[in-house]
Amino acid sequence: MTKCFRHIFLLVAFSSLLRLASHGTENENILIVRSINITGNTITNEKIILRELPFRLGDSLSIYDLSGYANQSKENLNNTLLFNFITISYNISDKSVEWDIDVEERWYIWPFPILEFEDRNLSAFLRNASFSKLNYGAYIKVNNFRGMREQIRLRMVLGYRNEVVLQYITQNLDREKKHGISALASYFTNREINYNTFGNQPNYFRSDNGPARKVLFADITYHYRPKHHWYHALTIGALQATISDSLATLNPNYFGAGNNSFWYSHIKYEATLDKRNSKIFPLHGYLLKSEVGKLGLFKNEPLDLWYIKLTTGLYGKVAPRLFAGTDISTKLSTQTNLPYYMNKGIGYNDFIRGYEHYVTNGSSYYINKNSLKFELLPTKVINLPLVPEGKFKKAHIALYWSIFGDTGYVKPDAFTPSNSLEGKMIYGYGTGLYIVAYYDLVLRIEYSFNGFGEQGFFFHIGTPFLLN
C-alpha cells in the first residue's frame, strides 16, 4: 500500500513539474507591446491609425500571433481607404515587441470637373450612346478632413440631371472613435426620366417645358462601430418629389392614383459584420449585412410598409492564385402595390450579368452572384512615367481572369406591365477580365450570356473612391 502511494506521489509531482515547465515556456513566448511607431501620416491623426490596430500599448501578445496581428492591422488600415500603401513590421527584444507602421497617404482633396453618363451602367449607356445623357459640373470631396477621417462632399451638376448635394460625415463623437454622425441634403431635377417599363426595358419621357421631375431629399444617420469589423447605423429622413402633369397622365401609377406629387418619411437600421480583406475587390473573408426599414412614419403618408434586406458574401482561396466568391442579396417587403417610382427590382442598383440592358420591377427579389477568379498578374507596384513625385507617382495594378454565373428572381407586382423577366428565374453567365488599380479603380470587361440566348461584351468601371 505504501508503495502504491509512493507511485501516486511521484506521478503527481512529475505532472506538477511539467505544468510549471510549460507555464514557464508560455511566459517566455508572451511579449509586451513596448511601442508603436507610426510614420508617413503627414495629415492623418495617429488616433485614427491606432483605432484600426488589434493591439494597444502594454498589451500582452503571443510571439506566435505577431504575423497574424500584422496582417490584420494592414487589412484594417487598407479598408479605411485613406492610404495607398501600408508597411507593418515588428522587432522583438527583451520580452517586448516594438511595432513600426509606415503609411503612404492618398490625395484627400478632390476638386474636379464632372463628366458622367446618366444610365444604370456603362454598358446600357454605350448601347444607345447619346450626348444628351451626359452630366457635367463640379464635385469637391474632402476625405480625411482635419486628419480625422471626416468627409465633406459637394456636388453641383448640370446637363441631363441638375443636382446639388451636400454631405458631412464624422466618426469622432467620442474619444474611442466608436460613435459618429452624417447628414445629407440633395436636390435634383430631370427633364427626361424613366416613367415605365415595357418589354423588360425602361421607357423614357422627356419634357420640353420645364423639369419632368423634381426631388428634394434629406437624412441624418447615427453611426456606431463597437469593434473593428462591426458597424451599426440608424437613419431617419424624408423625400418630397413632384412630376409634370403630362407624366402623371402618361403613367398614373408613377406616384399612384394619378398624383403629380409624392412624399414620405423613412427610418432604417443597418447592422454589418465585414471581415473581407478588401471592400473594393474582396478575395477572402466574409460579409454579413442586414437592413430593416419603415417607409411612412405618419398616418397621412402614401406609403406604409416595412422591408428587410439581407446581404451575404463569402470569399476564399481554393488553390494557388485561384479565388472563389459568392454574394447573395435579398429584399422582402410587406407591401406590393407600390407606385412605379418606388418599385425598382433587379437591373437598377444591381443587375444579373448579361442583363445590363434590362430592368425588372418588384418590391421583393433575390440575387445570387458566383465567380471564380484566377490571378493572372499579382499586385505589382510601378512608378508611373511622366508623373512627378508625389501621391500619384507610385501605383499598383493587378489582373484577374474570371468565370461567373448569376441567378435572380423578382416577385411580380400587380401594377407593373407584363414583363417576361418578372416572376421567373433569371440567369446569366460568362467570363471576364478584371483590372484592379490604385485609388480603388476596377475595370471589368466581360463576355456574358443570358436566358434570351443573347451574348456580347459588357463594360463596367468602378471608382468607389469618388463615392465612399
CATH number of 188's domain: 2.40.160.50
Is the pLDDT assigned to residue 183 strictly greater than 60?
yes
3-state helix, strand and coil shares in percent for the chain, rounded to the nearest 5:
15, 50, 35
Give pLDDT tens digits for 67-88.
999 999 998 998 888 998 899 9
Q: What does the pLDDT read at residue 121? A: 53
Q: What does the pLDDT read at residue 326? A: 97
Together in a domain, 171 and 50: no
Where among 348, 366, 384 does a domain terminate?
366
For the segment 177-181, the average pLDDT, to the nearest whole number, is: 90
Sign of CA dihedral 125, 343, 333, 360: negative
Give pLDDT tens digits for 234-276.
999 999 999 999 999 999 999 998 999 999 999 999 999 999 9
Report if residue 423 sits inside a domain. Answer: no
Together in a domain, 161 and 73: no
> Worst-scoring range by mean pLDDT, 97-111, 148-162, 191-205, 434-448?
148-162
Q: What does the pLDDT read at residue 22? A: 46
Cell of 429: 453567365
Q: Are 444 and 356 in contact (CB under 8 A)?
A: no
Say how far apart CA 106 and CA 103 lie, in whole Å: 9
Report if residue 334 sits inside a domain. Answer: yes
CA 446 and chain centroid, separation:
21
**Residue appearing with cell numbers 418630397:** 240
Together in a domain, 136 and 265: yes
Give pLDDT tens digits for 221-230.
999 999 889 9
Quick check: helix, strand or coil at residue 5? helix
**R_g of the chain, CA atoms, integer Å:** 27
Q: What predicted TM-score, i.e. pTM, was given to this entire model?
A: 0.75
Q: How confident is the model at residue 414 (pLDDT cuts 50, 70, 90)?
A: low
Is the pLDDT assigned to residue 20 strictly greater than 50?
no
Together in a domain, 31 and 92: yes
Which structural domain, as residue segments, surrounds residue 36?
22-105
Together in a domain, 130 and 46: no
- How many folded domains does the chain comprise? 2
The CATH number covering residue 83 comes to: 3.10.20.310
Is the pLDDT assigned to residue 415 strictly greater than 70?
no
Together in a domain, 74 and 120: no
Give pLDDT tens digits for 128-175.
655 566 666 777 888 898 898 899 989 888 766 788 999 999 988 887
Together in a domain, 78 and 191: no
Report if residue 372 sits inside a domain. Answer: no
Q: How confident is the model at residue 110 (pLDDT cuts 50, 70, 90)?
A: confident
Higher pLDDT, 115 or 46: 46
Say how far apart CA 365 and CA 154 lie, in whole Å: 33
**Residue appearing with cell numbers 416572376:** 423
